[in-house]
Amino acid sequence: MSTLYAVLFYVATIIMIVGTAMKVLKYARTPAPLKIPVSPAPRTKRGVWFRMFKEVAFFQSLFKSNKWIWIFAVLFHAGMLLVLLRHFRYFIQPVWWWVELIQPIGVYASFAMLLGLGGLLIRRIVVPRIRYISNPSDYLMLILFLGIAITGMMMKFVMGTDILMVKQFFLGLLRFQILELPMQPGVLIHLALVLILMIIFPISKLLHAPGVFFAPSRTQVDNAREFRHLSAWASQLPPLPEGIPEEGDS
């Protein structure tokens, strides 16, 4: 069983990294022929960077559109981030000081993550317009995250787990050594759900994480009045009449 999980983690890691890289490369190569920044949009590149920071760090547009959904989204994403950072202790030795520092915070962040996931799932079921546009994959993704969070919390608060064996197993994987994994049901189920998440990541809606950095509605400068927007693929088109600057010209 330890060998099976080791092989699966190697395969899942390759699929997630290579698959995500291919998708990001596709996003980067996709032409954006129109100037479509969502107003009010920044007029400078520095303003675009500041806008993207507020969008990624604080979900600014979601806050403006729906405060309740924003609360659940922040609880889920912030809780998941802290939980992931807490899990760094399984992959490093000695454990970095800041990873040690967030261990207690990461434990209780799992409750915030669970609350956020529950709110987002109930929203998809209860709100008619959201239920109408929801696909089975939307529900399954939330259920998968709920399963990961619940099994992780059960290992912490209910079942009890040989943490040292788990850490030795993952440190061994980093050195291409297959060590013994504790054969506890909670560990096996939790890791199996994580494997599923890693494998489906490149073909799921979770790609909105890197995709937001390629969204023209968020990353374009609102300078359509000053410059003509010209995509790289259209560089072979006839030149503009004199007096009309191209975007990027000084």
Average pLDDT over every residue of 190-218: 94
* Boundaries of domain holding 6: 2-21+64-212
- Reported as a pLDDT band with limits 50, 70 and 90, residue 250 is very low
pLDDT at 243 over 70: no
CA distance 144 to 172: 27
pLDDT at 95 over 50: yes
Other C-beta atoms lying within 10 Å of the C-beta of residue 55: 18
User: Within a domain: residue 138?
Assistant: yes
pLDDT at position 241 is 61
User: Within a domain: residue 240?
Assistant: no
pLDDT at position 247 is 60
pLDDT digits (tens, 9 = 90+) for 22-59: 999 999 998 888 888 988 899 999 999 999 999 999 99
User: Within a domain: residue 239?
Assistant: no
User: Within a domain: residue 14?
Assistant: yes
pLDDT at position 214 is 92
User: Within a domain: residue 233?
Assistant: no
User: Within a domain: residue 40?
Assistant: no
Average pLDDT over the chain, rounded to an integer:
90
CA distance 246 to 250: 9
pLDDT digits (tens, 9 = 90+) for 156-176: 988 878 889 999 999 999 999
User: Within a domain: residue 146?
Assistant: yes
pLDDT digits (tens, 9 = 90+) for 189-198: 999 999 999 9
Q: What is the CATH number of the domain that holds 84?
A: 1.20.950.20
Number of folded domains that form the chain:
1
Give the long-range contacts of residues 145-150, CB within 8 A, separation 24 or more. Answer: 145/76, 145/80, 145/113, 145/117, 145/197, 146/114, 146/117, 146/118, 146/121, 147/189, 147/193, 148/190, 148/193, 148/194, 148/197, 149/83, 149/110, 149/113, 149/114, 149/117, 150/114
